[in-house]
Structure 1
């Protein structure tokens, strides 16, 4: 919008355009992916991290899913991270929100780094699925799931997504 208005001869800045668009309620109408929708039939596990500080590696791992915009549509990206080291242990891309790519990332992280004491996720259907939770149970890992409004628990992966998107994805126009 800023570029177009400048082409028309108006002297405007991006901040002003964003502020005015927000004030008018104008927003993009493209489809936005919904990555954290719970499945009504899946079991939701309690939140186990209240009052716990990650003081060592493999104490708490977390996972999150984001989307990568492509020229036509988007891909989904899952990452498994260690809370203490904030290291991305494993990741996978998929063009669908099926559970298999999340399980593959989990199995890869377990194979490469051992197992955590607690694994924390949001309540998205991939993480509440029988396949994902069974993989955690088989490895004897305690399952923790964020409650509503617990955005701070995923702040490490959210920061990873922000860095990845602003430093790479948004600068490129990926075809595939």
Structure 2
């Protein structure tokens, strides 16, 4: 037969051996099945899910699988999730010509009484509905948030609304006091 087909005898037996190894072991079959499931979940997520989310989906479907196995199979078949954005919103724009205000509390924010020092911060929030900004006013003695406001912009009216809420929280009786050294 080897002479008729024009192949060597050793080549024929090597082919027979390769053919016998084409049968998958149980482990290989499980990994092949997982590869199909992983590909399906990845495709259903429009290519965004990585190993942690795909593992959670498979576990929810009743498969017992580790995240490392999912990650290894994804690497073998060339799949990768989309990483979260590294985009950072700039909430502070430094003006090099601006004067630096005097530190009236000498970095000692807790003056031992309520309403002596209030601080504020604006932070960026990425929400399902879009991007938002949050401004909060905090009493540094009680550590309580006195007022806050949210908006889709970072204009002064958002800060003013937060300050107005803080003043209302304190009964509208907070007066600005100068701190003498």
Q: Which has the larger radius of gyration?
A: 2
Q: Which structure is richer in relative contact order (CA contacts within 8 A, separation 6 or more)?
A: 1
**Which structure carries more strand by proportion?**
1
TM-score scaled by length of structure 1: 0.48
TM-score scaled by length of structure 2: 0.47
